[in-house]
């Protein structure tokens, strides 16, 4: 996205948060914009604010007007995304590990394990990268959406392709 458009998006989200601080989706959309602008401190502040509001029960037992309800899983993934963008792989891995088992099924856990594999790869930890990639492939190949002819199915194929490529890269690095 062009930097001018990112600034426009940032300004729009900031205006909306001031008017509707009870809408968790706005926080989840603003943090990646700050990350794209390389303003990681602000991105973390946005996700931390979301976490604090969540911890205070601000979003629990009620859905925002749009019907969107935030979960701890999504907040932890938002933290992981900011840390990945900032190339802080230790923190990214810490947050990704928190999400394991809290996902809505094998597809989400497969995506999380794919992200873990890539983070380990970036650290040069090929052993753990291989383990996570193997687990991700196993989960994704068994995912019920694998047989669906929809957007998720094509995303799943791309994710598997990415994992097979990652495994080839790990094999080369190990040699």
pLDDT in the model for residue 175: 67
Ramachandran bin of 44, using left for φ above 0, alpha for ψ from -120 to 50, beta for the remaining angles: alpha
Cβ-in-10-Å burial (0-12, 13-18, 19+) of 10 comes to middle
Residue 65 neighbours by CB under 8 Å, 6+ apart = 23
- pTM listed for this prediction: 0.80
Domains and CATH numbers, the chain: 1-88 (1.25.40), 100-175 (1.20.58)
Q: Per the structure block, which two tokens stand in for 27? A: 């926080």
Q: Give the pLDDT band (50/70/90) at residue 120.
A: very high
Assess contact for 43 and 84: CB atoms under 8 A: no
Q: How high is the pLDDT of residue 142? A: 72
Give the number of other Cβ atoms within 10 Å of residue 128's Cβ.
16
pLDDT at 144: 62
The mean per-residue pLDDT over the stretch 165-174 comes to: 80
CA atoms within 13 A on the CB side of 116: 25
Q: How far does Cα 172 stand from its chain's mean position?
A: 27
What contacts 5, CB < 8 A, 6 or more positions away? none
Greatest mean pLDDT among 22-31, 64-73, 79-88 lies in 79-88
CA distance 69 to 22: 10
CB 92 within 8 A of CB 78: no
- Per-residue model confidence (pLDDT) at position 143: 66
Q: What is the pLDDT of residue 102?
A: 81
User: Mean pLDDT lowest for which of 104-113, 118-127, 136-145?
Assistant: 136-145
Separation between Cα atoms, residue 71 and residue 123, nearest integer Å: 29
Confidence (pLDDT) at 90: 97
47 pLDDT higher than 60: yes
pLDDT tens-place string over residues 21-31: 878 888 999 99
Could you give the C-alpha distances from 12 to 6, 15, 21, 26, 34, in angstroms and in order?
A: 10, 5, 13, 10, 12
pLDDT digits (tens, 9 = 90+) for 139-149: 877 766 544 43
Residue 146: its pLDDT value, please?
46
């Amino acid at each position: 996205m062009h930097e001018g458009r990112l600034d426009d998006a940032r300004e729009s989200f900031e205006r909306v948060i001031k008017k509707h601080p009870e809408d968790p989706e706005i926080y989840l959309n603003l943090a990646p914009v700050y990350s794209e602008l390389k303003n990681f401190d602000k991105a973390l502040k946005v996700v931390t604010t979301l976490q604090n509001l969540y911890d205070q029960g601000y979003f629990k037992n009620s859905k925002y007007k749009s019907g969107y309800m935030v979960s701890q899983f999504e907040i932890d993934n938002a933290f992981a995304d900011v840390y990945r963008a900032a190339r802080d792989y230790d923190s990214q891995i810490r947050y990704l590990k928190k999400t394991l088992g809290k996902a809505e099924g094998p597809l989400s856990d497969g995506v999380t394990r794919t992200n873990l594999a890539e983070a380990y790869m970036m650290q040069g930890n090929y052993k753990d990268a291989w383990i996570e990639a193997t687990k991700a492939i196993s989960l994704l190949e068994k995912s019920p959406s694998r047989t669906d002819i929809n957007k998720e199915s094509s995303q799943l194929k791309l994710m598997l392709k990415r994992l097979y490529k990652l495994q080839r890269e790990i094999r080369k690095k190990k040699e």
